[in-house]
Amino acid sequence: MIKKTCILMLTLATAISGYACDEDGKTGFLPENDLKIGVFDKSRNNMTEARFNEIIDKVDSVYASVVRSEGGRLKWARNWDDGTVNASAQRTFWGTWKVNMYGGLARHPLVTDDGFALVVCHELGHHLGGAPQTGGLFMKWASNEGQSDYFATLKCFRRVFGNDDNQEIVSKMNVPSTVQTKCEEKFTQADEVALCVRSSMVGKSLAELLGSLRGSKNVKFDTPDTKKVSKTFNAHPEAQCRLDTYFQGALCDKRVNEDVSSDDATIGTCNRSEGYNEGVRPLCWYAPQS
């Protein structure tokens, strides 16, 4: 009897543990792929293990206390030696909020330091990004893919890197006029404009990575995805749609410390119902009425 009870408890605990990056928990930040980039792979970028950990530490220094305030324990799986080109999030029955980061993704030639940080923010967004959410029968806890992208530039990247010398950082970038103009239209302070630009540009670098896996790196700020979904799409949007989401998150002028909600997708976000035309979640994955 005791043995059967233990087996039942273990089965239940497993069932109500959950993974993200997709609604089925089978893939990660990127669509399923067979890429592997080892520590000594010739195609790797210049990411080091020390820098890999520094970036995670910087995000952790801001958000570990936030997770604690929500009743969770933030745990980072720092899989530097693992060549997997992906990342994922996991929540357990015992209150552990886990983020799985892999060296293979960090070493990908299209991934910059900022790009890796934005992936960390995306994965954390599954835990903290708010509605719309997706998940299994027992634990519908994870913000969906589009919302996690939106949270990454709307809140996380802005909060973690807001005190950097962003004006100096973006001065070295080749910034498209569309990005510069729209950021200047939304923000008045030079530091805020620079952070908007930086967030947008890192979004483009990740969208190009996403596009490369699907045979299309031709993503641009001035060619937004025109598709309109009738029901919110929870899985991975196409690369252009994800770029649009990162860009719109960067353009939303809601306060960075205005928390989002797991129950109400309009709280802490920019919405068409409030008269916003910029900074809103793109209709290529988000259906406001659903």
User: How many angstroms separate the CA atoms of 128 and 152, rounded?
Assistant: 10
> What is the model's pTM?
0.91
Residue with tokens 């910087």: 58
* Lowest pLDDT segment from 55-59, 90-94, 193-197, 240-244: 90-94
Which residue type occupies 276?
Answer: Y
CA distance readout (Å), 105 to 52, 84, 125: 10, 6, 18
DSSP for 219-270, written as a single string: --TTS------SS---SPPPHHHHHHHHHHHHH--S-TTS---SS-TTTTSB
pLDDT band, residue 213 (cuts 50/70/90): confident
Asked if residue 88 lies in contact with residue 29, where contact means CB atoms within 8 angstroms, the answer is: yes
Query: What number is the average pLDDT over the span 199-209?
Result: 97
Q: At what angle do helices 177-186 and 190-213 cross, to 10 degrees?
A: 140
Which residue type occupies 275?
Answer: G
Spell out the residues 6+ positions from residue 14 whose beta carbon is closer than 8 angstroms to its own.
Answer: none
In percent, the amount of the chain with pLDDT more than 70 equals: 89
- The answer on pLDDT for 7 being more than 60 is no
Q: What's the mean per-residue pLDDT of the chain?
A: 91
- The answer on pLDDT for 25 being more than 70 is no
Task: Compute the chain's Rg from CA coordinates.
Answer: 19
pLDDT band, residue 184 (cuts 50/70/90): very high
Three-class SS state of 31: coil
Asked if residue 132 lies in contact with residue 144, where contact means CB atoms within 8 angstroms, the answer is: yes
Asked if residue 268 lies in contact with residue 258, where contact means CB atoms within 8 angstroms, the answer is: yes
- The answer on pLDDT for 92 being more than 80 is yes
- The answer on pLDDT for 23 being more than 60 is no
User: How many angstroms separate the CA atoms of 16 and 137, rounded?
Assistant: 8
User: How many angstroms separate the CA atoms of 55 and 147, rounded?
Assistant: 22
Query: What number is the average pLDDT over the span 24-44?
Result: 83
Residue with tokens 């070493």: 107
* Lowest pLDDT segment from 18-22, 32-36, 120-124, 239-243: 18-22
Query: What number is the average pLDDT over the span 84-104?
Result: 95
